[in-house]
Amino acid sequence: MVYTKIVSSPGPKLAVLIDPDKQSPGSLTQLIQLAVNCKVDFFFIGGSLLLEKNFEATIEAIKSHCSIPVIIFPGSNYQLSSKADAVLFLSLISGRNPDYLIGQQVVAAPTIKKMDLEAIPTGYILIDGGRTSSTSYITQTMPIPHNKIDLAIATAQAGELLGMKLIYLEAGSGAKNSVSAEMIKTVKRNISVPLIVGGGIRTSEQAEEICKAGADILVIGNALEETPGLLMEISLAVHSANKEKR
């Protein structure tokens, strides 16, 4: 069970987010090998808008090259595959669009059950990263302002009380600013489920700060498309924070 791995092993973990539309077969193979060398814990697969038919092929490629768990990070109910190890069963709890609170989930649920795919209920919270994200645009939802920590806390707590097993603070792909350490630290202190943080992470210093603030899983994606070598620096920062927490 993927969720058991998340909660049972101590210290922060590193996930690489792959948008299937942005990877050629050659670049994907190189990224997989780099992830193995950097001891990445998870692959997240998905995107806000997928136009090419590379979703399942990307999962198959990863599974054929390594044993790193593949978790679907779906942008819609179409992004599902029995070949993955798990799916983040997302509810966009920071927004008020019913389609992304429960509508997409109703459509996806029978397929997930039929696939016998591990579904991890996840409270998805958009945080303002300094520019309009694809997720915010497509879902027509407003992110929580980066300085409204009280709103982030209340939203995360609501997600936990609704039964979410993970809380995901997301600044958005290509965000100018990542989620602040202060927000991460305060939200983490007020919930008892694992916390995922992603968006706008471009340096090892940011990664280290985010992990020390309390992130259980750090997600990096967009920055690797331009600078794949950054993964090694991020990995060292995450693993360094992991040893300190132990």
Q: At residue 67, does pLDDT exceed 90?
A: yes
Rounded to the nearest integer, the mean pLDDT of the chain is 95
pLDDT tens figures, 3-45: 999 999 889 999 999 999 998 889 999 999 999 999 999 999 9
The per-residue pLDDT for 203 is 94
Mean pLDDT along residues 210-220: 97
The per-residue pLDDT for 222 is 84
How many C-beta neighbours within 10 Å does residue 41 have? 22
The per-residue pLDDT for 71 is 98
pLDDT tens figures, 87-144: 999 999 999 999 999 999 999 999 999 999 999 999 999 999 999 999 999 999 999 9
The per-residue pLDDT for 244 is 64
What pTM does this model have?
Answer: 0.96
Vertex 215: Cα angle to 135 and 13 (nearest 5): 95
The per-residue pLDDT for 132 is 92
Q: How far apart are CA 127 and CA 186, in angstroms?
A: 14
Residue 245's pLDDT band, with cuts at 50, 70 and 90, is: low
101 and 91 Cβ atoms separated by less than 8 Å: yes
- Burial label for 66, CB within 10 Å (0-12, 13-18, 19+), is middle
Q: At residue 149, does pLDDT exceed 60?
A: yes
Range in 121-125, 209-213, 223-227 the model is least confident about: 223-227
DSSP line for 96-118? --HIIIIIHHHHHHHHHHHHT-E
The per-residue pLDDT for 49 is 85
Q: At residue 173, does pLDDT exceed 70?
A: yes
Identify which of 114, 84, 105, 215 has the alpha carbon closest to the alpha carbon of residue 163.
105
Max mean pLDDT among 45-59, 114-128, 170-184, 230-244 falls in 114-128
Q: At residue 57, does pLDDT exceed 80?
A: yes
Amino acid at 14: L
